[in-house]
Chain A
Amino acid sequence: MDFGALLLTLVTFAPLLGAAALLLVKPEQKNALRWVALITALVTFGISLGLLAIFNPADAIRIDLPWLSVAGWNVHYHLALDGLSILLVLLTTLLTPLAILSTWTSVEDRVRQFMAFFLMLETGMLGVFLAQDLFLFYIFWEFTLVPMYFLIGIWGGERRIYAAVKFFLYTMAGSVLMLVALLWLGTQYNTFSLPELIAQRANIPPQAQTWLFLAFALAFAIKVPMWPLHTWLPDAHVEAPTAGSVILAGVLLKMGTYGFLRFNLTLFPQASWEFSPWMALLAIIGILYGALVSYAQTDAKKLVAYSSVSHLGFVMLGLFALNQQGIQGALLQMINHGLSTGALFLMVGMLYERRHTRALDAFGGLWKVIPVFGTLLLIVSLSSVGLPGLNGFIGEFTILLGAAGSDALGNAWNQIVTALGVSFIPMRSAGGLWFAGFAALGVIFAAAYLLQMYQKICLGALKAENQNLKDLSWREIITLLPLLVLIFWIGLYPKPFIDLIAPAINQMLGY
């Protein structure tokens, strides 16, 4: 086992070890528990940086050991870090310590269990991003559910139990059909290994490919969540504790988009091509719907939650443009959404800690009393809007370019136009542009709802009860700082990030 392989195993299971270590600390020593969890998360982040240091974009870091092999069953302990997963792994290991830091004063009840569940969740998420064996992937996929269920159910808001159960059942309902699909693949081709299945994908009969695509897509679409399967998301987000929301929006939703990228696009290219206009259509509906509903929200957290539906629509559009630009943009946008929305949830959580409400009309004019908060919120909101110079712009712009130039979407458009008998030439030549055009409306809407939120919170008349709000503490600033640095970095100089992911995407498309 070489060094990289060792690090892969370590990064995945270090949080679990940390969770076990928590059992050695007495439940009353809350600060000790917090420190143990934070240090574990930081060590995990350190290991992932180590992986980044030895990472070569052209080649994956891999560990592949047989786990079970009887009667034509070949389940492997197979983890790999490649261009598709590295940024998501880094995002996970970065957001976890920040989220833990954000709970320092807000979680007082059952700290030990909270931290244990949180770290278990991290192991599950990292496993999902790293697993290269379908069986192993499914185990990690399901493994993330239980900790999140408890994080929402125990430490959540008023309707936490309803939200937790809804979250669990929705996700589970989607993923069981994926289980049947992957069992079919595993028994049919005697392997669960993703690279081996990709090598054999030409042998999958077209009709089976369609069904398999749909089974996988259902699981991932619920997780993303794509319109119209998104209804669990607002509930889960609103009721989850701040740290839970950060991880939910920042990482858990990416498991869905990542699943599309890693499994649907690579295993079933033919079906992906056929379904791409439909997926793009759902994505655009999601973009516009999410944006409009966001605009109507009066609860800050709910607003940010619906904005996720909109932003992830962009990611899906990029993925199903099925070209290099689209996928590259989608992958970048996954990271950007994790950073921006993560930061937004953190800041809404900070407001909530101070005022115990998230209603937008309870605030106003906060700029005057807490200027640091106001400045940071402005930056984060603008990054989420997609202002040039900040990270959101890079992702969304690349996605729109990808969609506009997409063969898959353009082709579909032409077919529709031909079927309708329209002979107006410009419509024919640039079919993808129509998809991009509608999606671009989403950017404008985003500006509307986010700036409206900003306006209601920070501008206008100051209410009497908000006069004595305390500005951000050092701990809170430290929590936000890494996110802000990355927001500017990706926005101004995205090349290092693109260099990390581009070779893998080219390789994937060139199979």
Chain B
Amino acid sequence: MFVPFDSTMLLAILPEILLVVLAGVVLALDAAWQPEKRRWLGWLTVVGLAVAFILTATVSQPESEPRLLFGGMLRDDWLSFAFRLVFLFGAAITTLFAMDHEALGRKGEFYVLLLVSTLGMNLMASAGDLIMLYLAIETTSIPLYILAGFITTDDKSTEAGFKYLLFGAMTSAVMLYGFSLLYGFSGETNLYLLAGKLGELPMPALLGSLLLVLVGFSFKVSAVPFHFWAPDVYEGAPTPVAGFLSTASKAAGFAVLMRVLLAAFPAALPSWQGLIALLAVVTMTVGNLLALAQTNVKRLLAFSSIAHAGYILIGVVAVNAAGMNLGMASVVFYLIAYLLTNLAAFGAVATFGRVSGSDEMDAYKGLSRRSPALALVMLVAFLSLSGMPPFGGFIAKVFVFAAAVEANWIWLAVIGVLNSIIGLYYYLTLLKYVYLYRQDNLEEEQKPLPISRPYALALVLLVIGIILLGTAFNPWFEWSRTAAASLF
């Protein structure tokens, strides 16, 4: 399993190398260029990420058998490969959304931080060792703290960054304590060697350390009861950053969650299944119920993102030890669909917020008359979030529920579908504002709503992706399955 070092190993970390190089170039050019030229930094980042995406997809495909590289620090398998592509894509889209944002677009350091955070996510998805895992999580989180508080002139933004930091630091400390206990009980830091030693451990000790570790992961995926930060941070953070937080960062959290649960805790499978099932029920129910009362679109999306974490956890529960069922594959598929969908939703909110300056639902009245195109994007994104065909979100939900049904967690699937009705209600509420209500002052509806080129490009890409995932889902699902199968 362990592979001794040779230079071809570098190919396996090509995406990370490219990210570091790109970050360096952006940082250097930021210093060298005049302020008025700096909008090009955004395009440079997008093109760089696109190149990294293509190179990763073509050159650094993993070998058929999973390998542990660099002394076991990294695991090279299809799961990490799939997630890296997802992160690179998410970062590129986020860059497009940020480019014309007043406070972000011309700041080189914004792009650098985004790239570093993406680097951290890549490492999270491929970490095979507790040390690497901890460092990767922090490499992801620390830039995100800054990004959330990026607009120092805006009290809400700094407060968002501050709250995110406080919650993040505390939960990661709890998680680290869990790591230290795992190390203490086994004497190993490698995830794949841990499992062998942990099997002999008494169940309370095993579950205790698992609980501590789960605290950190629950924070990352914003599962109840570690979700408090999400609404505040999403509302306060710049919208493109909030989109990135709710999609890529959440996906990274799930990648780690899946890997750690399956690699290090197979011995406790029935116990953690029950635990995660409980977490899933509470998370989606609380998220959905609290979302009902929201009047701010970004807060609504925050609670919806909590609820979605709950749905995804259903897929995690539905795994079986043999690993050949739908469970993990449905999680990967869901994360891909959710990334596209939620980025589209946040992108639309960012586009609208940039012109109107408001994220309140009232401001969205009559949007379908003011800008039919943007309204259509919102329609696609929110229907996909609510799980209506023929969009990606529908297929994703169906797969997660099917996985639960297949693994005989039928009651969990039933709670899931009932929750999705609550979800439908508040997504429809927003669409009501967009499509059915009119502005009190009808002249408001005549005002133009420009959609600049980067926004248009990103939104079109995302909408096409959502529809593709919902109709031609075969290759995507095959891909998710390959990725999930390499976990075992």
**Given the complex of chains A and B, what is the CA–CA distance between A303 and B405 in angstroms?**
43
User: By the criterion CB–CB under 8 Å, are A165 and B432 in contact?
Assistant: yes
Q: Which residues of A contact B388 (CB under 8 A)?
A: 142-143, 145-146
**Given the complex of chains A and B, what is the CA–CA distance between A186 and B404 in angstroms?**
13
Q: Which residues of A contact B326 (CB under 8 A)?
A: 71, 73, 187
**Given the complex of chains A and B, what is the CA–CA distance between A160 and B410 in angstroms?**
37
Count contacts on B: residues with CB < 8 A to the other chain.
33
At the interface with chain A, which of B229-237, B347-355, B418-426? Answer: B418-426
For the complex, is A70 an interface residue (Cβ under 8 Å from B)?
A: yes
At the interface with chain B, which of A171-179, A260-268, A472-480? Answer: A171-179
Q: Which residues of B contact A169 (CB under 8 A)?
A: 421, 424-425, 428
Contact with B along A438-470 (1 / 0, CB 8 A): 000000000000000000000000000000000
Distance in angstroms from B175 CB to nearest chain A CB is 33
User: By the criterion CB–CB under 8 Å, are A67 and B414 in contact?
Assistant: no
Partner of B436, one of A68, A70, A139, A160: A160
Closest to B470 in A: A139
User: By the criterion CB–CB under 8 Å, are A161 and B436 in contact?
Assistant: yes
For the complex, is B60 an interface residue (Cβ under 8 Å from A)?
A: no
Q: Which residues of A contact B324 (CB under 8 A)?
A: 71
**Given the complex of chains A and B, what is the CA–CA distance between A441 and B150 in angstroms?**
73
Distance in angstroms from A504 CB to nearest chain B CB is 28
User: By the criterion CB–CB under 8 Å, are B420 and A184 in contact?
Assistant: no
**Given the complex of chains A and B, what is the CA–CA distance between A391 and B474 in angstroms?**
47
User: By the criterion CB–CB under 8 Å, are A184 and B398 in contact?
Assistant: no
**Given the complex of chains A and B, what is the CA–CA distance between A70 and B398 in angstroms?**
14
Closest to A153 in B: B436
User: By the criterion CB–CB under 8 Å, are A187 and B436 in contact?
Assistant: no
Which among A146, A161, A176 has the greatest number of chain B C-beta atoms within 10 A? A176
**Given the complex of chains A and B, what is the CA–CA distance between A126 and B331 in angstroms?**
33
Closest to A69 in B: B474
User: By the criterion CB–CB under 8 Å, are B418 and A176 in contact?
Assistant: yes
For the complex, is A360 an interface residue (Cβ under 8 Å from B)?
A: no
- A127-153 contacts to B, CB under 8 A, are 135, 138-139, 142-143, 145-146, 149-150, 153
User: By the criterion CB–CB under 8 Å, are A179 and B417 in contact?
Assistant: yes
For the complex, is B444 an interface residue (Cβ under 8 Å from A)?
A: no
For the complex, is A199 an interface residue (Cβ under 8 Å from B)?
A: no
**Given the complex of chains A and B, what is the CA–CA distance between A169 and B418 in angstroms?**
11
**Given the complex of chains A and B, what is the CA–CA distance between A468 and B477 in angstroms?**
65
User: By the criterion CB–CB under 8 Å, are A71 and B329 in contact?
Assistant: yes
Q: Which residues of B contact A183 (CB under 8 A)?
A: 398, 401-402, 405-406, 413
User: By the criterion CB–CB under 8 Å, are B436 and A176 in contact?
Assistant: no
User: By the criterion CB–CB under 8 Å, are B473 and A68 in contact?
Assistant: yes
Q: Which residues of B contact A165 (CB under 8 A)?
A: 425, 428, 432
**Given the complex of chains A and B, what is the CA–CA distance between A292 and B414 in angstroms?**
37
User: By the criterion CB–CB under 8 Å, are A180 and B481 in contact?
Assistant: no
**Given the complex of chains A and B, what is the CA–CA distance between A68 and B474 in angstroms?**
5
Given A169-B424, A184-B410, also A176-B417 (CB < 8 A):
yes
- B434-474 contacts to A, CB under 8 A, are 435-437, 473-474
User: By the criterion CB–CB under 8 Å, are B390 and A143 in contact?
Assistant: yes
Partner of A71, one of B325, B383, B420: B325
For the complex, is A434 an interface residue (Cβ under 8 Å from B)?
A: no
Q: A-B contact count, CB below 8 Å?
A: 81
Closest to A165 in B: B428
Closest to B369 in A: A110
Partner of B421, one of A138, A160, A173, A186: A173
Contact with B along A59-77 (1 / 0, CB 8 A): 0000000011011010000
Distance in angstroms from A108 CB to nearest chain B CB is 14
User: By the criterion CB–CB under 8 Å, are B389 and A143 in contact?
Assistant: yes
- B391-422 contacts to A, CB under 8 A, are 394, 398, 401-402, 405-406, 410, 413-414, 417-418, 420-421
Closest to A176 in B: B417
For the complex, is B478 an interface residue (Cβ under 8 Å from A)?
A: yes
For the complex, is A164 an interface residue (Cβ under 8 Å from B)?
A: yes
**Given the complex of chains A and B, what is the CA–CA distance between A138 and B401 in angstroms?**
14
User: By the criterion CB–CB under 8 Å, are A67 and B474 in contact?
Assistant: yes
**Given the complex of chains A and B, what is the CA–CA distance between A98 and B428 in angstroms?**
30
Closest to B406 in A: A187
- For the complex, would chain B's binding face be called helix, strand, loop or mixed by DSSP majority? helix
User: By the criterion CB–CB under 8 Å, are B428 and A176 in contact?
Assistant: no
- For the complex, would chain A's binding face be called helix, strand, loop or mixed by DSSP majority? helix
Given A70-B481, A146-B383, A180-B413, also A139-B389 (CB < 8 A):
yes
User: By the criterion CB–CB under 8 Å, are A139 and B413 in contact?
Assistant: no
User: By the criterion CB–CB under 8 Å, are B435 and A180 in contact?
Assistant: no
Distance in angstroms from B17 CB to nearest chain A CB is 33
For the complex, is A154 an interface residue (Cβ under 8 Å from B)?
A: yes
User: By the criterion CB–CB under 8 Å, are B421 and A172 in contact?
Assistant: yes
Q: Which residues of B contact A73 (CB under 8 A)?
A: 326, 402
User: By the criterion CB–CB under 8 Å, are B474 and A161 in contact?
Assistant: no
Closest to A174 in B: B421
Distance in angstroms from B409 CB to nearest chain A CB is 11
Contact with A along B331-355 (1 / 0, CB 8 A): 0000000000000000000000000
User: By the criterion CB–CB under 8 Å, are A187 and B402 in contact?
Assistant: yes
**Given the complex of chains A and B, what is the CA–CA distance between A186 and B474 in angstroms?**
16
Distance in angstroms from A28 CB to nearest chain B CB is 13
Distance in angstroms from B467 CB to nearest chain A CB is 13
User: By the criterion CB–CB under 8 Å, are A154 and B478 in contact?
Assistant: no
Partner of A70, one of B413, B425, B437, B478: B478
User: By the criterion CB–CB under 8 Å, are B414 and A154 in contact?
Assistant: no
Q: Which residues of A contact B474 (CB under 8 A)?
A: 67-68, 70
Contact with B along A19-62 (1 / 0, CB 8 A): 00000000000000000000000000000000000000000000
Closest to B474 in A: A68
For the complex, is A273 an interface residue (Cβ under 8 Å from B)?
A: no
**Given the complex of chains A and B, what is the CA–CA distance between A153 and B368 in angstroms?**
13
For the complex, is A168 an interface residue (Cβ under 8 Å from B)?
A: yes
Partner of B401, one of A135, A150, A161, A180: A180
User: By the criterion CB–CB under 8 Å, are A154 and B436 in contact?
Assistant: yes
User: By the criterion CB–CB under 8 Å, are A168 and B410 in contact?
Assistant: no
Contact with B along A331-373 (1 / 0, CB 8 A): 0000000000000000000000000000000000000000000
Given A142-B388, A165-B432, A183-B413, also A68-B477 (CB < 8 A):
yes
User: By the criterion CB–CB under 8 Å, are B435 and A70 in contact?
Assistant: no
User: By the criterion CB–CB under 8 Å, are B436 and A164 in contact?
Assistant: yes
**Given the complex of chains A and B, what is the CA–CA distance between A160 and B326 in angstroms?**
41
**Given the complex of chains A and B, what is the CA–CA distance between A153 and B437 in angstroms?**
9
**Given the complex of chains A and B, what is the CA–CA distance between A164 and B429 in angstroms?**
11
Distance in angstroms from A255 CB to nearest chain B CB is 15
Q: Which residues of B contact A138 (CB under 8 A)?
A: 389
**Given the complex of chains A and B, what is the CA–CA distance between A93 and B195 in angstroms?**
62
User: By the criterion CB–CB under 8 Å, are A180 and B405 in contact?
Assistant: yes
Q: Which residues of B contact A142 (CB under 8 A)?
A: 388-389, 394
Distance in angstroms from B318 CB to nearest chain A CB is 11
Given A70-B481, A176-B417, A180-B413, also A186-B383 (CB < 8 A):
no
Partner of A179, one of B329, B398, B424: B398
Q: Which residues of A contact B417 (CB under 8 A)?
A: 176-177, 179-180
Q: Which residues of A contact B383 (CB under 8 A)?
A: 146
15 contacts between A and B (CB under 8 A): A68-B473, A70-B481, A142-B389, A143-B390, A153-B435, A164-B436, A177-B414, A179-B401, A180-B413, A180-B417, A183-B401, A183-B402, A184-B405, A184-B410, A186-B402
Q: Hey, which bits of chain A sit against chain B, CB under 8 A?
A: 67-68, 70-71, 73, 135, 138-139, 142-143, 145-146, 149-150, 153-154, 160-161, 164-165, 168-169, 172-173, 176-177, 179-180, 183-184, 186-187
Q: Hey, which bits of chain B sit against chain A, CB under 8 A?
A: 324-326, 329, 383, 388-390, 394, 398, 401-402, 405-406, 410, 413-414, 417-418, 420-421, 424-425, 428, 432, 435-437, 473-474, 477-478, 481
Known: A150-B435, A176-B420. 13 other contacts (CB 8 A): A71-B325, A139-B394, A143-B390, A145-B388, A146-B388, A165-B428, A169-B421, A176-B417, A176-B421, A180-B401, A184-B405, A186-B402, A187-B402
A-B CB proximity, top 10 nearest: A176-B417, A187-B406, A139-B389, A183-B402, A153-B436, A183-B405, A68-B474, A184-B405, A142-B389, A161-B436
